[in-house]
Structures are given as C-alpha cells and as structure tokens.
Amino acid sequence: MKKYKYFLLCILTCIFLFFSSNNTYAADTSSLEINSPSVILIERNTGNILYEKNSKAVRFPASTTKIMTAILALENCNLDDVVRVSYSAIQRIPSGYTIADLKVDEELTVEQLLHLLLIPSASDAANALAEHIGGSIENFAEMMNAKAKEIGCENTHFTNPDGVHDENHTSTAYDLALMANYAMNNSTFKSIVSKASYVLYPTNINTTERYFRTTNSLLNTASDYYYEDAIGIKTGFTTPAGNCLVAAAKVDDMECILTILGAEQNEDGTSQRFLEARELFDFAFGNYTYKNIKFKSDVVTTITVKGATSDTKTLNLELSDKINAFIDKEDLDTNFEPTIALNENIKAPILKGDKLGTATYTIEGVNYTVDLVASNDVYKSNMPIIIGIILVFVFLICLKLLLNKKGKSKKNYRIKKSKNKNRF
C-alpha cells in the first residue's frame, strides 16, 4: 500500500511539472484585453511565444491562405515567368470575393501576380498561379498540404489557393504563424507584404494602369490603425471565418509575428483585429528587447594550465563573440551567469585564440553558446626537463659512487685475503 501511494505521488508530481512548464515566455499579460477567439504572438528569432489564446483551435483561415500560395509560387517559379490567365481561374470565384479584374488570356509575370495576391488579396491572381504551378486547383491544394506538413503544421488542410470558404479548408493561428515565419525568410515575399500599394502597368489585354491598395490597415499611413513598425503581412475575411490577420512588426533587432483569427467588429464599429494587433505589438516591444549582455573578449573564467611556465600558467578564458540576447526589460541590469564546459586535459603550450571550451547563457528559455578562447599564449615549462637532467645527473653520480664503493670493497677483500694467506 505504501509503495502504491509513493507511485501515485510520483505520477502527480510529474503531471504538475509537465503542465507548469511550457515554451511561453511572457511578461504579465493581465493588462491586455484581447477578445479575439484565437491568437498567437511570437518573437521570430527565438520562437518564443509572448502571448497565446486558443492558438491551436481549428478555424477557417480565409485569405490568409494566400501566404501558402505565395510560398509555393516563390519556390516553384521564376519571378519573370509569364502566366496566362484562364477562364476557369476567373469563373470559379464566387461573388463578393476580392479580385484584380484580370481578363481571360491576359498575360502577367509571376512577380506581378504575387503583388496582386498579397497586396489587394486578389483571388483571380491566386487561381492563375495555382493552375500555372499545379496544373489544376486540386493538384495545387495537394501541394499546399504537403508543404504545410513540411513546415510543421499539424492542423491545416487546404482545398483551394485563395481561402474561398469550404468546410474542409481549415487551419489554426499557430500553423499560420509557422507559415508566415517561413515565408518571411524569403526577401521577395517580405518586400511585397510590406507595401501599402501597387501599380499594375498595361498588359497584353489591358492598356491602362491599375492601382491597388493593401487590405492591411496597419501599413496604411492614412488609416486610424496605422502602425509605424508594421512590416506585413496578410488579412482575410469571410462571414464564417470572421476577420483574420497575420501581421509582422519589427523594432531594432526584435521582429514579431502575430496571428488573429475570428475577430469581430467592436460595438463602436472599430476593427477588433487591428486594434488588438496594435495592443499586442506594443506589449511585445514594451516588455522585451535585444541587448548585448556580453561582449567579445569579455573574460568569463580563469584557469591554471598544467605544464606551463610560472608567468603564463594563469590563463583568462574570454568570449570569442558577443551575445545579443532576447531579454525581458526587467532583466536589463541582471548579471547572467553561464554554464561553462572546458575541454579535457588542457595543458601547455597554448596559443592565443585557441578554443578551450564553451560558455552557455540561458535567457528566456533560449541557450546562447559561445566559444571560450585563450586570452594569451601559454608557454610550456622547461622545468620538467631540467629536473629530469638533474635526476639523471644525480643517478649517474650515485651509480658512480656505488661502483667505486664496490670496487674498493673488492680490493679490500683481496688485500685481506692475501694477508690471511701470508699469515698461514
């Protein structure tokens, strides 16, 4: 019975520890008033989750879907590839969805279509790209799902490239953040989604210029929701999905990605998604930053080197590079202590700059590891050689004395024996 109670106590302890530890590293969020049903805010470089609310709940993504469409276009096409718009790419779009009013047989480059896809959120551009890459919408949807799994999405299933409502077309705030984080590594994608407007110049069909504005009010300087540090990314809306947003903002070295799904209009008619996006970005940049907690050549520890000369045996180990860490602003004055791992059997001679170990600083759940190097040359001591020579010299002297003693003993023995013989 006692063994059973002990076993049960161990299980309960493990469960408590499991649920009390996660990868969310956030300052006090009690002041935030976030009403959107599904939200996630991450810091890009570390992957730390700064705020999360039902981020893995399965929901309709609407036009945030187009992030994945852009990823596949960038990875399967050249920007100057020419795409001919088909009749099916236009006619399959239900009434009420955003289009760029492309015409049948109109020819545009992949780069032009990407701008139409990501800035005004044109569904006809999405379909044109999908048919060009996959041969059909159905084949392209399979490519989308395969790529989503490759990125690490676990609860995403696409049926189309533009986010037209379908009961089987679903994702999560968490998965969309993964897609956005992946896409933002592409400089072309990052450049396009940061633009507030786009001009489509005359094509083979249309002889006039067409002007388009972004659907992302965070980027629009004329909007009440304009956010100076915003750098993208994509909006979405359908009645079943609600107002959706995948946004990014950057201050100095800190870059954040935010996903909001299922937002509504506030009672006063203001946009819940954009107001909450501003609030969450302010929270992130107000509470966190990047700081050089250590600099190159900072001395971390001092060791005594075996076999070294007396004036070089005490050796400072210094950092080979600076450490620019993601940090809670409350810890700006904290002196972080590292975990040090030294090489085995460190002995002279050592050259300045030789790697002799590592120092690891753990901050906000992230490990920053930097090599520890010798701050100066360490010379091998000649003392063992001198001692060895002295010992050999002493040994030879002792051996000679021993041999001389033995020689005298033998001589004395012969003399004594001779005297005894004469006596007889």
Q: How confident is the model at residue 12 (pLDDT cuts 50, 70, 90)?
A: very low
**Structure confidence at residue 286 (pLDDT):** 97
Q: How confident is the model at residue 401 (pLDDT cuts 50, 70, 90)?
A: confident
Q: How confident is the model at residue 8 (pLDDT cuts 50, 70, 90)?
A: very low
**Structure confidence at residue 385 (pLDDT):** 55
Whole-number mean pLDDT of the chain?
90
Alpha carbon 245 to chain centroid, angstroms: 22
Q: Which residues pair with 178 in a beta bridge?
A: none
Cα(238)–Cα(123) distance, rounded to whole angstroms? 13
Higher pLDDT among residues 81 and 424, named by residue: 81
**Structure confidence at residue 24 (pLDDT):** 55
The DSSP secondary-structure symbol of 119 reads S
**Structure confidence at residue 402 (pLDDT):** 74
Cα(172)–Cα(176) distance, rounded to whole angstroms? 6
Cα(368)–Cα(372) distance, rounded to whole angstroms? 13
409 is catalytic: no
What homologous superfamily does CATH list for 23-289? Answer: DD-peptidase/beta-lactamase superfamily (3.40.710.10)
- Residues contacting residue 301 through CB under 8 Å, at least 6 positions apart: 316, 317, 340, 359, 372
375 is catalytic: no
How confident is the model over 219-228, as a mean pLDDT?
97
In the chain, what are the domain boundaries?
Answer: 23-289, 295-374
107-109 and 82-84: which strand pairing?
Answer: antiparallel
CATH assignment of 295-374?
2.60.410.10
Q: What does the pLDDT look like over 92-145, one tens digit per residue?
A: 999 999 999 999 999 999 999 999 999 999 999 999 999 999 999 999 999 999
**Structure confidence at residue 403 (pLDDT):** 73
Percent of the chain with pLDDT over 70: 86
How confident is the model over 271-300, as a mean pLDDT?
97
- Write down the residue that tokens 């909001």 correspond to: 260
Q: Compute CA distances 319 → 294, 336, 367, whole Å.
A: 8, 14, 15
Determine which one of 36, 66, 217, 381 is catalytic. Answer: 66
Q: What does the pLDDT look like over 18-27, one tens digit per residue?
A: 333 345 555 7
pLDDT at 400 over 80: no
Determine which one of 36, 55, 121, 271 is catalytic. Answer: 121
60's tokens:
């309709």
> How far apart, in Å, do the first and last CA atoms of the chain sit?
101
Fold: same for 23-289 and 295-374: no
| 149: three-class secondary structure by DSSP | helix
pLDDT at 384 over 80: no
pLDDT at 417 over 60: no
pLDDT at 16 over 90: no
**Structure confidence at residue 396 (pLDDT):** 72
Q: What does the pLDDT look like over 311-356, one tens digit per residue?
A: 999 999 999 999 999 999 999 999 999 999 999 999 999 999 999 9
How confident is the model over 173-194, as a mean pLDDT?
98
66 is catalytic: yes
Determine which one of 63, 123, 271, 381 is catalytic. Answer: 63
pLDDT at 86 over 60: yes
Q: What does the pLDDT look like over 52-64, one tens digit per residue?
A: 999 999 999 999 9
